[in-house]
Structure formats: C-alpha cells, structure tokens
Amino acid sequence: MKSFTDILEAAKKCPPKKVAIAVAQDDQVLEAARDCQESGIAKAVLVGDAEKITRIAGERNIDLSGLEVINEPEIEDAVKKAVMMVHDGEADMVMKGAVQSPTVLKGVLNKNFGLRTGKVLSHVAVFESPGYNRLMLMTDAGMNIKPTFAQKVDMVKNAVSVAKSLDMKNIKVAIIAHMELVNPDMSSSIDAGMLSKMAERGQIKDCIVDGPLALDLALSMESARAKGVKSAVAGQADILVLDNIDAANVLYKALVFLGGAKITGLVVGASAPVILTSRADSSEAKLVSVAIGVLMANRGK
C-alpha cells in the first residue's frame, strides 16, 4: 500500500468492524464516523453526550442516521463505556473523541475493564509524504517519553505489526540516531546497535533492522553512498524508530507543517487497536486511522 487511498480501499474489502468512539461530541469525529459508516469500513458507535452530538451534527449538516448513539454525558463514564465495549467483545476498537489522550489511556489500561496485554503500548504514525513514493511509519511520537531498551524492542515489534497489516514486504527498520557509528557516550547509538544485532540473530522477527542511522541515511541511498555506509536499510526505510518523544514529535510536526505530509496513527500493544489521533487532525486522518485499525483487527482474527 503506497497511499492513504490504498489503505481505505483495502479496508473496504474487509468484513466491517465496529469502532466505539469515546466522547463523540466533536465535528471532525462525527464526520469521520459518518464516513466510516457510508464507506462500509466500520460501524461507529457514538458514546458521549447525546444532546451535544445531535446539536453538533445538526449545525454541521452531518447525517448520523444509522449510527448508534449511547448517552454518557460524563467524560470518564463515556471513556469507560467505550473501552468496556471492546473489552466485552461488543466492539473491535476504541477511538478517542473530544477528550484528552491520558483519560482514554487510563481507561485502556484499567485492570478491571481495560485492554491490557502485558506488552508495551506505543504510538505508530503512518505518513504519506509528497517527497516519498510510498507509505512510511514512525514511532513513538505520542506515548513513551524516554523509552528503555526493552520498551524499544516492543516499539519495533508493534510498528512491524502495523506494517504487516499494510501488506508491506521485506520490512526495513531504521533506528535513528545522531550519526551512523556506535558511540559509547550516546545511549541512543548503543540501543540502535543492540536492536540491529537482535534482529540479525532472530530475536526480532519479520523485519530487517539497522542502526544507528542518521535520518538522511535512512531516507537517502545517495547519502549512504556519499558517506560510504553499506546497509540493507539505508535509503529504503519503512519504519523510523526515534530515541525519545521529543525527537519523534518534532519530526511528526515537521513532516506535516514543513513537508506537507498527510499523517495519521494509532496506539498498538493493547488487545485491540486504539485510535488516538489529535483533536486537531482532520476527519480524513481519523478515517484512515480507523481503516488501519480495521486492517489490524482483521489480520489479528
């Protein structure tokens, strides 16, 4: 799949899934829910303040006919209900609406009704850039602040699971650092070297991992040749793994506001996909994120 359009078309061919939207009283969220339903990608259940949902839909001319609405005016109750629907098998994924991410994640991680698996949860962004001829993935711009080495192992595995759902072959993972050499004084480069060796020895499967790689080497074969770096990943990276949330979030925003990329994503590692797009994201970004969740849910089944 080389574009968001490809993702949407692939999701349309899957059996439709159900997405429970927590605190759904938001115009972009309602537009995405309508589009999910009309395209046949997923059935949306709107959990939130029914009065506000109806008012916003009327003001924005959003047709919600055929969509189930569950009235839970209190934010925490709406999150709990949406997560419990997934926990109980009544929905296949949960999506954040007009609510802060930590509130949704608190529900997802709840010991009684949440979606815990014991694995690390990580954010995987998928972006379509005008300067690149295919989709790329990046982690972690939204969850793990300064991941440990063990967390990075799970982050790579989570991102690879998304890449496989997008039907990527020979998945190449670049562990991004300041430069391409292991430096004992830079923990990021040491982690990158160990991740590469783990993949080489089969401890991380279904992908080729190389690092440390500077960003230009991950994206440009010309840069790799100019610097004399021989790598099966250089210039061909499918997944970029950043050392910390600051670096990842800066790259995420730079891709959008300076590079003109279209970007979306979701949280992986729970028992079901968690759609955790920003409230500022477009309805298209939210729709594509749901489509990725549908592909992952179907692949998991």
Q: Which of 68-82, 169-183, 286-300 has the lowest mean pLDDT?
A: 286-300
Q: In the structure, what pLDDT confidence band is assigned to residue 126 with cuts at 50, 70 and 90?
A: very high
pLDDT at 152: 97
pTM of the complete model = 0.92
Q: Which CATH class is domain 122-257?
A: alpha beta
Tens digits of per-residue pLDDT, 127-176?
Answer: 999 878 889 999 999 899 999 999 999 999 999 999 999 999 999 999 99
Query: Where do you find CATH 3.40.718.10 in the chain?
Result: 122-257
The mean per-residue pLDDT over the stretch 183-194 comes to: 94
Which token pair is 239? 């997944």
Indicate if the pLDDT at residue 203 is higher than 90: yes
**pLDDT band at residue 300 under the 50/70/90 scheme:** low
**Residue 125 is encoded by which pair of tokens?**
């962004």
Summarize pLDDT for 74-100 with one digit per residue, the tens. Answer: 999 999 999 999 999 999 999 999 999
* CATH of 4-117+270-300 among 3.40.50.10950, 3.40.50.80, 3.90.550.10, 3.30.428.10: 3.40.50.10950
Residues of the chain with CATH 3.40.50.10950: 4-117+270-300
The two beta strands, 172-176 and 68-71, are: unpaired
**Six token digits for residue 112:** 């009684």
- 3-state SS of the chain is CCCHHHHHHHHHCCCCEEEEEECCCCHHHHHHHHHHHHHCCEEEEEEECHHHHHHHHHHHCCCCCCCEEEECCCHHHHHHHHHHHHHCCCCCEEEECCCCHHHHHHHHCCCCCCCCCCCCCEEEEEEECCCCCCEEEEECCCCCCCCCHHHHHHHHHHHHHHHHHCCCCCCEEEEECCCCCCCCCCHHHHHHHHHHHHHHCCCCCCCEEEEEECHHHHHCHHHHHHHCCCCCCCCCCCEEECCCHHHHHHHHHHHHHCCCCEEEEEEECCCCCEECCCCCCCHHHHHHHHHHHHHHHHHHC
* Amino acid 296: pLDDT: 93
Is 301's pLDDT higher than 70? no
- The CA distance from 47 to 70, in Å, is 5
Q: What is the pLDDT of residues 235-290, one digit of tens each?
A: 999 999 999 999 999 999 999 899 899 999 999 999 999 998 776 677 788 889 99
Per mean pLDDT, which range of 102-111, 179-188, 278-287 is the poorest?
278-287
